[in-house]
Structure 1
Amino acid sequence: MGPAVHGGPSATSRTARLLRHLDRRLAAQGHEVIPLDVRTLPAEALLGADVRHPAIVEAAQLFARVDGVVIGTPVYKAAYSGLLKSLLDLLPRYGLAGKTILPLATGGTTAHVLAIDYALRPVLSSRGAAHIVQGWFTLDKDITVGDDGTLTVTQGAAEALAQVVDQFSDALDSRTSLVAAAGQAA
């Protein structure tokens, strides 16, 4: 599979914890998941648009060698995070070419529910994503973190998230099967 990209500024946010929870589900389905927290990349490279910085080169190489990417972001002011935008801007023009993408977002109000389709999806598409599966927006109030760090998602949201993650997994498996079949035919 590939990276599960957290585009928010906090390591302990609901978005970050939700992504790590979904990482485990994908790993249980046989996919290798590589957590990538954009906030850990050097700020001077992100803000200075330094595409030659070793950390940015390494991130771009990671995207280049994977089949799929999960992208999670908190929604601020009806759009995905500026931190995530900084990374996406530094990827090569077609840095997501041939990739299957699962966009996820969290936010405080249903007024932000269209952020995936109207803000994030066009950018992912412009970067060449081959297949952007149905994404999912989850309200912050539907995600709770216990004192022991245990993540709980309300039943309705959990069922919907499980469905989109399973569809993403199926899309990755189908892509892998098609690539293998094409290789055998050659």
Structure 2
Amino acid sequence: MSDIVVLSGSPSERSRSDLVLRHLGTLLEKEKLKVTHISIRDVPQEVLFYGKYDSQAIQEITSLIQNAKGVIIGSPVYKAAYSGVLKALIDLLPQDVLQDTPVLPIMTGGSPAHLLAIEYTLKPLLANLKGQNLKGVYLLDSQINKESLENPIIDFEILERTRKQLYYFIQTVQKQQTAVLR
């Protein structure tokens, strides 16, 4: 069982969103948390296209998410919202798949004009799945170096904000687990 599930909604093979999510996963592992990465690219296309909610792939993803202590969900901004393939996957998951689970939303985009996409599109979707939304982070493409695997966030200010949100996420997960154990 994973402590944290990191779900990437980017359909691109070389994605800034994926780089940021992988970096966050590495930071979580340094904090001794077990992390499982799921990419929308790992889900068979026919499962998404034909809405096979009862497929083995969807059952496995559902189980991973429901058993996680926390979830990080990231997506690039497409047409002022999260990716369509992420929505296709979300539509196949149970309506309460994130029940009381701390969720850290992450979005990347090419323009500051899409800053509110996280607030108006991704967070409401996660709340509908009964997730406990945290503030989240929006990163501009220009703040991410696609060539750097170790630390792709090149803007110091956004790097610090991202780390701050990640450590708040960790604290929230730990507090929730302590409360459950009581």
TM more than 0.5: yes
Q: Following superposition of structure 1 onto structure 2, how do residues 85-100 of structure 1 map, counting pairs within 5 Å?
A: 85-100=87-102
Give how far 1:56 is off: 1.0
Give how far 1:142 is off: 0.3
The one-letter code sitting in structure 2 at the alignment partner of 1:171 is T
Give how far 1:149 is off: 4.0
Partners of 1:150 and 1:119 lie apart in 2 by: 30
Q: Which residue of 2 aligns with 1:180?
A: 181
Give how far 1:30 is off: 2.2
- C-alpha contact (below 8 Å) 1:136/1:164 kept by paired residues: yes
Runs of 4+ with >3 A deviation? 148-152
Partners of 2:105 and 2:56 lie apart in 1 by: 26
Q: Which residue of 2 aligns with 1:145?
A: 146
Q: Which residue of 2 aligns with 1:184?
A: none
- C-alpha contact (below 8 Å) 1:101/1:133 kept by paired residues: yes
Q: Which residue of 2 aligns with 1:35?
A: 37
Give how far 1:28 is off: 1.2
Q: 1:60 aligns with which of 59, 62, 76?
A: 62
Per the normalisation by structure 2, the TM-score is 0.94
Q: Which residue of 2 aligns with 1:78?
A: 80
Q: Which residue of 1 aligns with 2:167?
A: 166
Partners of 1:151 and 1:6 lie apart in 2 by: 17
Q: 2:119 aligns with which of 117, 120, 123?
A: 117
Partners of 1:91 and 1:170 lie apart in 2 by: 27
The one-letter code sitting in structure 2 at the alignment partner of 1:46 is L
Q: What SS class does the counterpart of residue 80 from structure 1 fall into?
A: coil
The alignment's C-alpha RMSD in Å is 1.2
Q: What SS class does the counterpart of residue 145 from structure 1 fall into?
A: coil
Structure 1: unaligned runs, 5 residues or longer: 182-186
Aligned residues: 179
Q: Which residue of 1 aligns with 2:27?
A: 25
Q: Following superposition of structure 1 onto structure 2, how do residues 124-143 of structure 1 map, counting pairs within 5 Å?
A: 124-129=126-131, 131-143=132-144
The one-letter code sitting in structure 1 at the alignment partner of 2:119 is D
The one-letter code sitting in structure 2 at the alignment partner of 1:15 is S
- C-alpha contact (below 8 Å) 2:72/2:105 kept by paired residues: yes
Structure 2: unaligned runs, 5 residues or longer: none
The percent of aligned pairs where both chains have the same amino acid is: 34
Max radius of gyration: which structure? 1
Q: Deviations over 1:24-67 (max 9, x none)?
A: 11111222110000111011111211111111111111111112
Partners of 2:22 and 2:13 lie apart in 1 by: 11
Partners of 1:2 and 1:115 lie apart in 2 by: 24
Q: Which residue of 1 aligns with 2:158?
A: 157
- C-alpha contact (below 8 Å) 2:23/2:150 kept by paired residues: no
Per the normalisation by structure 1, the TM-score is 0.92
Q: What SS class does the counterpart of residue 10 from structure 2 fall into?
A: coil
